[in-house]
Structure 1
Amino acid sequence: MTTSPASAASDPVPRPFRLDGRVALVTGAGRGLGFEMAKALSAAGARVVINGRHAGRLEAAAAALTRATGRPIAIAPFDVADTTAGRAAIAAIVAEHGRLDILVNNVGARDRRPLKDFVPGEVEALLAADLVGPMLLAREAAEHMATHRHGRLITVTSIAAHIANRHDPVYTAAKAGLGGLMRALAVDYARAGITSNAIAPGMFATETNAGLVADANFSAFVDIRVPLGRWGRPEEIGAAAVFLASDEASFVNGHVLVVDGGQSVRM
């Protein structure tokens, strides 16, 4: 179990799924699933740094998370597609906290259009945000984690990595690429004490999906397609991140944890 000396003194029976003393960076955490995973990691005892491109939104999110968990939340505003900024941010986190134990690569842009509608440069820009940026950020994080012989690389993919929808080819390709990346990192970094796993969310009622949630026809589709008959609630993603980040998942490596209400297994 992961406990800090202070928590161990006050709690003689270590509790499972605790992250006391661990430092986590969650990208794309200004809202939505990233926000909820950051909240869950903080509530489990981790020192959490949230990332996004907009400092104002991050500051508001950090304040809300602090109110919810009673723990301070730091911010690291940068664009994940900017590899220089990502490297500098991780170096700053390590300088401030002495370590980085958990990286949740959550950020992801989406552009639902047929492939024929993309013009030169648009595919590359989307892949830079959704695949290349997270890949290089994981590399930077792993280099620091290896010095402590401990780390958790958690990649947020999607059920779109396994089942495709119409008119969404670039996002689907990027998420499938992240799944392959996660497995490669699971092999490459395991002997350094670093595990690599993924969370594949299904349809969640986030701010991004608000229009679809309000669409009665689409919600009727959700009722049919998802065995549980509903959208996922954003807060239902947090425990998956805590589990994969915890010592209880120390022998889980190269796994995709699907959180989709059963959608991806329904005929």
Structure 2
Amino acid sequence: MRDALFDISGQTALVTGSSRGLGYALARGLARHGAKVILHGRTLESVEASAERIREETGAEVAATAFDVTDAAATEAALEKLIESHGTPDIVVNNAGLQKRAPISEFAVEDWNAVIGTNLNSVFHVSRVLSRHMAERRSGKIVNIGSVQSKLARETIAPYSASKGGVVMLTQGMAADLARHNIQVNCISPGYFKTDMNTALWQDETFNQWVEKRTPAQRWGDVDELIGALIFLGSPASNFVSGQNIFVDGGMTAVV
């Protein structure tokens, strides 16, 4: 008999910010492991194109949705419509993210609001709505995407660090509220991965050498190396795990 401990086949998973980059890799990983995946972005055309690529590669059932996760009303309306079409997701991955760089004294207020709105507020907007339906069903997995910057600060990205630190604490608070409803809420905090968001960083040889020296694994991460943690947190294997933050960072946060 097949062991279902890490089995997510047949589960429905929504991944926000998944038309490209890290979110796309996470969605593709879920699809490869048998989940029905709902991709999300701001522009339906680009999300549908990404959904088709995953469909062709994996043969999985893949749907697409588009809405602004920073808009509470638009998010709620879109999620209620999504539930009518696909049912309440079994797995929700709050991945939508934005980075802006400037010294704190020069950081524009509108950029602060954009970073906090996309990285932190969106987790609240999405989880607030979907957790209600998960609680009615008495099951659900919510996986928030944090960052090593939730623990380690760097110059020019203080708002990003603040947003990701907020995601970690929101994860713990959500776990406190939702565990009684058999909803597990956890966080994955990636280290340095070669994604669209940080292309300028990994193409900068000085920064590239710093990452390789600072990381015990002595390299950048590959996005597929996040899938194992996600499958664990989305599967029955994590049914008694909640409020945790798993660093997938090649050992970076373990050393000085």
Q: Normalised by the shorter chain, which TM-score bucket?
A: over 0.9
Question: Over aligned residue pairs, what C-alpha RMSD do you find?
Answer: 1.3
For the 8 Å contact 2:70–2:118, the answer to whether it is kept is: yes
Segments of structure 2 that go 5 or more residues without pairing to the other structure are none
* CA 1:125–1:209: 2 relative to 1, 3 Å: closer
CA offset digits 1:183-209 (Å, max 9, x no partner): 000010111110110000000011222
1:110 aligns with 2:99: yes
SS in 1 for 2:189: strand
From 154, 175, 187, give the equivalent of 2:164.
Answer: 175
1:197 aligns with 2:183: no
Query: Which residues of 2 match residues 114-133 of structure 1 at below 5 A?
Result: 114-133=103-122
* Alpha-carbon distance, 1:113 to partner: 1.0
Partner of 2:50: 61
Report the residue type matching 2:244 in the other structure: H
Quick one: distance in 1 between partners of 2:107 and 2:132? 36
Quick one: distance in 2 between partners of 1:256 and 1:210? 25
Query: Which residues of 2 match residues 31-46 of structure 1 at below 5 A?
Result: 31-46=20-35
From 33, 36, 41, give the equivalent of 1:52.
Answer: 41
Quick one: distance in 1 between partners of 2:108 and 2:218? 38
CA offset digits 1:59-89 (Å, max 9, x no partner): 1211111122111211111111011221122
Quick one: distance in 2 between partners of 1:223 and 1:118? 28
Partner of 2:71: 82
1:211 aligns with 2:200: yes
CA offset digits 1:195-246 (Å, max 9, x no partner): 1100000000112222222222222112210111111011111221111010
SS in 2 for 1:121: helix
CA offset digits 1:172-191 (Å, max 9, x no partner): 10100111100000010111
* Alpha-carbon distance, 1:15 to partner: 4.0
For the 8 Å contact 1:151–1:195, the answer to whether it is kept is: yes
Report the residue type matching 1:189 in the other structure: L
Quick one: distance in 2 between partners of 1:145 and 1:20? 18
* Alpha-carbon distance, 1:93 to partner: 2.1
Name which of structure 1's ranges 96-105 and 242-251 shifts more when overlaid on structure 2: 96-105
Report the residue type matching 1:52 in the other structure: G
1:233 aligns with 2:195: no
Name which of structure 1's ranges 155-164 and 94-103 shifts more when overlaid on structure 2: 94-103
From 132, 141, 166, give the equivalent of 1:143.
Answer: 132
SS in 1 for 2:128: helix
SS in 2 for 1:195: strand
Percent sequence identity is: 35
Quick one: distance in 1 between partners of 2:86 and 2:187? 25
Quick one: distance in 2 between partners of 1:19 and 1:51? 20
Number of residue pairs aligned between Structure 1 and Structure 2: 256
CA offset digits 1:96-146 (Å, max 9, x no partner): 123221110001111111121123433223211111121121111101111
Quick one: distance in 2 between partners of 1:209 and 1:119? 20
Quick one: distance in 1 between partners of 2:170 and 2:76? 19
